[in-house]
Structure 1
Amino acid sequence: MAKIPNEIKSNIFSRLPVKFIGKCRCVSKEWLGILTDPYFLELHLERAQKDRQLLFLDQSVDHDDEEDNQRQVARFFTTNMEGVMQFRARGFVGGYIYMIPSGHGLVCLVNRGIFYAFNPSMKKVARLPTAQPSTCGRFNAGFGYIQSTNEYKLVHLYNIKSEEELEYTIKCEIMTLSDGGVVSSNSWKQLETECPAMVSGWGVLVDKKFYWMVCEGCHPTVDQLIMSLDLETETFDFIPHPHVTSYVEGNDMFLVELQGQLCLVDTFAYPPITNVWILEDPVKKIWAKKYTIDLTKLEGFDDELTQISVLGYLNGELIINSQQERLDFYNVGSRIFRRGPNLNLKRDTEICIYTETFFLLKE
């Protein structure tokens, strides 16, 4: 080993899972130096981004009632894209667990109003400082990773009722998570700017901006169907839907980040197709239709029961969850689906993609 250059050693080590690298760091001072060197960390991240993992969450209850205190079983398990098991974990918790993906290494969990940062690679969980309570009882948040600063941003939107019974104000707070940093009680930063609309779904972070779909019925015009929050200017804005005529009852729309761009996935009830739009110019707010997917070619597709969710993009394929026992992979070049291995997924299994990381927090 002494005769092997450190560059080659780093290349060898970079092919190992994070949990094994943690053990290797304890072998010797030499190995610790190699495995904590910025060159190795960058090499490992580059390789991990090409071999992303899947995190699954099964719960013993099929509802999200935050007032329900019954004990339940939460089961986490991770695999690679070929279905090879990485680990399983289970535990008893009170109430429903929400899982907010970041598109990177950490995942945010929410249980009974408490946020947790979860590193699946190292099976470490850190409880985050208590967020402001929301008078409406619902959670609206976003969680994402900024590679240029090696930080995670957690955005929490919460309601405050006014003296008038039917009026409310939506406020926003942001937490920044740094590698090895300490999360303290004053980690939340309260924004002075009020949130202009009620949103649905988790926020998607692209180029230091979070994006949400505005709740149906809460937007005054068709040009205000998507809301953004600029983390640098701490200001809100609206983005129009790319194809207004498809915004009709029976269609399903959600946002996702694909290859560093904001995408809107628009599934028609009839005809059964899914359009994927890309926000080509965030400044001029110009959209372009990137893919049109014929869902009738998806094995097991039922136009009344199947709900399509695009999880991400990897190696020329869109990773699709159609609420079956397996995931599907859609080749954007050949326009052909292929079935993944049988994972025995339930219809309500929560799924997200993550990249292995050494990122840890100190409580």
Structure 2
Amino acid sequence: MANIPREIKFNIFSRLPVKIIGICRCVSKQWLGLLTDPYFLQIHLERAQKYRQLLCLDQSIENDDEEDNQKQVFCFFARNMEAIIQYRFSGLIDGYIYMIPSGHGLVCLVNRGIFFAFNPSMKKFARLPKAQASTCGGVEAGFGYIKSTNEYKLVHLYNIQDEEELDYTIKCEIMTLSEGSAVSSNSWKQLEIECPVMVSGWGVLVDMKFYWMVWEGCYPTVDQLILSLDLETETFDFIPHPHVTSYIEGNDTFLVELQGQLCLVDTFAYPPITDVWILKDPVKKIWVKEYTIDLTKLEGFDDELTQIYILGYLNEELIINSQKERLDFYNVGNGMFRRGRNLHLLRDTGICLYTETFFLLND
């Protein structure tokens, strides 16, 4: 090894999984210095981003009632797109587990109102400081990675009104997770400004802004369908829906980050198509329809049972979960689908993408 040029060593080691590199760091001081070099960490991350991993979650109960004390079996397993299992582990826990992706290395887990940061690459959990209790029953949050500062942001929206009053006052708290920091030193920052509406689904982070779909019970107008939170100014704003007809007809819509841009995925029942809109200009709030996907070309498509979830973008393909045993991949160039290998997924398996990372929080 001493005779191998440093650049070639970087090239070799950068192809290894994070867990194996952690073992290699213990071989010698020379290897430790090599594998903690900032340049090596950079090229390892760049390579890892080209080979996204899947984190899957199966749990024995579907009830997401926070008051449910039922013991359940959970199973986390990670694999790559070629159906190769990276690891699998399971256990018992009280109640339902929410899984909030960041689009990067860490994943946020929520169980009975308690937040955890989870590094799937290293199978490390960190229980985060207690969040404010909410009376709205569900969990409204957002979790994302900021590359420029190498930090994660966790946003928690919570209702402080009595749920029996059928009213809401939504407050907001934010936690910043820095690499190597002690979990006990992290704290929630309470924003003075209130959140104007209740939201639905997990927040999507793009360019220092979180975005949520507004809860339909708030009866939002076309100009108030999407809520944004600017992390720099700590202010809320609304983004209009890109397609008025789609909103009026009540299509199945959700938000996702693709290639660093906010996208709204809009699925029609008739004709069975999915439109992908991109927020090209966040300042002027201008949307552009980037793709129109003909769902009749999807193998096994059923216009009443099939639901389309776009997980991400990789190698000119959209990664699609249609709640089958396999994932589907849509080529944006030729408009054709290909079906991935059998992953033996269940219909209600929770799935998210992540990139391998060395990012850790200390106890």
Report whether the alignment pairs 1:206 with 2:206: yes
Alignment partner, residue 256 of structure 1: 256
Q: SS of the residue aligned with 2:323?
A: coil
Counterpart contact for 1:162–1:169, Cα < 8 Å: no
Aligned residues: 363
Q: SS of the residue aligned with 2:193?
A: coil
Deviations 1:75-114 (A, max 9, x none): 1111111111111110111100000000000000000110
Correspondences of 1:16-165 after superposition (within 5 Å): 16-161=16-161, 165=165
| Structure 1: gaps (5+ residues) | none
Structure 2 Cα separation of the partners of residues 321 and 53 of structure 1: 14
- Give the drift of 1:343: 1.2
- Give the drift of 1:184: 2.4
Structure 2 Cα separation of the partners of residues 3 and 165 of structure 1: 73
What's the TM-score, normalizing by structure 2? 0.98
Counterpart contact for 1:253–1:267, Cα < 8 Å: yes
Alignment partner, residue 359 of structure 2: 359
Structure 2 Cα separation of the partners of residues 168 and 215 of structure 1: 12
Cα pair distance change 1:8/1:87, threshold 3 Å? same
Alignment partner, residue 195 of structure 1: 195
Counterpart contact for 2:136–2:163, Cα < 8 Å: no
Alignment partner, residue 13 of structure 2: 13
- Give the drift of 1:186: 5.7
Alignment partner, residue 183 of structure 1: 183
Alignment partner, residue 280 of structure 1: 280
Q: SS of the residue aligned with 1:31?
A: helix
Which amino acid counterpart does residue 154 of structure 1 have in structure 2? L
Structure 2 Cα separation of the partners of residues 236 and 292 of structure 1: 30
- Give the drift of 1:340: 0.7
Counterpart contact for 1:274–1:295, Cα < 8 Å: yes
Deviations 1:315-340 (A, max 9, x none): 00000000111110000001110011
Correspondences of 1:191-340 after superposition (within 5 Å): 191-340=191-340
Counterpart contact for 2:129–2:187, Cα < 8 Å: yes
Which amino acid counterpart does residue 275 of structure 1 have in structure 2? D
- Give the drift of 1:165: 2.9
- Give the drift of 1:137: 1.9
Q: SS of the residue aligned with 2:2?
A: coil
Structure 2 Cα separation of the partners of residues 166 and 289 of structure 1: 37
Deviations 1:268-299 (A, max 9, x none): 01110000000000000000000000001101
Which amino acid counterpart does residue 51 of structure 2 have in structure 1? D
Counterpart contact for 1:105–1:357, Cα < 8 Å: yes
Counterpart contact for 2:135–2:163, Cα < 8 Å: no
Structure 2 Cα separation of the partners of residues 260 and 344 of structure 1: 30
Counterpart contact for 1:130–1:185, Cα < 8 Å: no
Which amino acid counterpart does residue 278 of structure 1 have in structure 2? I
Which amino acid counterpart does residue 143 of structure 1 have in structure 2? F
- Give the drift of 1:217: 3.6
Identical amino acids, percent of aligned pairs: 81
Structure 1 Cα separation of the partners of residues 260 and 30 of structure 2: 36
Q: SS of the residue aligned with 1:271?
A: coil
Structure 1 Cα separation of the partners of residues 131 and 242 of structure 2: 34
What's the TM-score, normalizing by structure 1? 0.98
Counterpart contact for 2:311–2:319, Cα < 8 Å: yes
Structure 2 Cα separation of the partners of residues 118 and 163 of structure 1: 31
Structure 1 Cα separation of the partners of residues 248 and 220 of structure 2: 16
- Give the drift of 1:168: 2.4
Structure 1 Cα separation of the partners of residues 220 and 120 of structure 2: 41
Single out whichever of 46-55 and 156-165 deviates more from structure 2.
156-165
Which amino acid counterpart does residue 209 of structure 2 have in structure 1? K
| Structure 2: gaps (5+ residues) | none
Q: SS of the residue aligned with 1:248?
A: helix
Counterpart contact for 2:325–2:342, Cα < 8 Å: yes
Structure 2 Cα separation of the partners of residues 32 and 47 of structure 1: 20
Counterpart contact for 2:176–2:186, Cα < 8 Å: no
Counterpart contact for 2:214–2:220, Cα < 8 Å: no
- Give the drift of 1:221: 2.1
* CA RMSD between the two structures: 1.3
Which amino acid counterpart does residue 104 of structure 2 have in structure 1? H
